[in-house]
């Protein structure tokens, strides 16, 4: 009976560890952010590219007008359904800064839907403000 319990606990642990890796594998790749306005009225689209490890590049791709695309590199940390996005410069929430802590609502081969739960702290330790942080971001795989 003790052997059965040990095998059951070991099997459950391996299953949980395997799922965590699969979630990160699904995150890797390029995603297009879905605007919450009429897509025919936007002047640019944001593309989020998650790389293996901890690199994230968000590229702003302008549709017309000759403005060159620009991109910013961040780092990320995925822990279960919690995604943290970091950067080493001053935080600007009014500019739609993507840094902060998100809760992943849905992640599959086609969609990534997440809700920002916390702004980043200005200090070295995490613990930013929750005030006004609840921003929904939806992305579709490219």
- State the pLDDT confidence band at 75, using cuts at 50, 70 and 90: very high
3-state secondary structure at position 16:
helix
**Does pLDDT of 138 surpass 60?**
yes
Tell me the pLDDT tens digit for each residue of 52-61.
999 999 999 9
pLDDT in tens, 7-59: 544 444 444 444 446 888 999 999 999 998 888 899 899 999 999 999 999 99
What pLDDT sits at residue 54? 94
**Short-list 108, 92, 109, 112, CA closest to 100:** 92
Residue 67 clears pLDDT 80, i.e. is over it: no
Domains with residue ranges and CATH for the chain: 2-141 (2.40.128.370)
Helix, strand, or coil (residue 137): strand
Q: Assess whether pLDDT exceeds 70 at residue 141.
A: yes
Report the first-to-last Cα separation within the chain, whole angstroms.
Answer: 50
């Amino acid at each position: 009976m003790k052997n059965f319990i040990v095998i059951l606990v070991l099997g459950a642990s391996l299953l949980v560890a395997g799922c965590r890796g699969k979630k990160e594998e699904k995150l890797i790749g390029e995603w297009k952010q879905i605007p919450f306005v009429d897509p025919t009225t936007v002047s640019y689209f944001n593309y989020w590219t998650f790389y293996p490890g901890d690199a994230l590049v968000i590229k702003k791709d302008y549709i017309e007008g000759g403005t060159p695309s620009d991109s910013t590199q961040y780092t990320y940390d995925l822990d279960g359904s919690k995604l943290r996005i970091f950067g080493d410069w001053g935080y600007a929430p009014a500019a739609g800064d993507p840094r902060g802590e998100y809760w992943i609502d849905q992640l599959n081969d086609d969609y990534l839907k997440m809700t920002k739960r916390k702004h980043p702290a200005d200090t070295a330790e995490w613990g930013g403000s929750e005030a006004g942080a609840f921003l929904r971001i939806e992305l579709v795989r490219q």
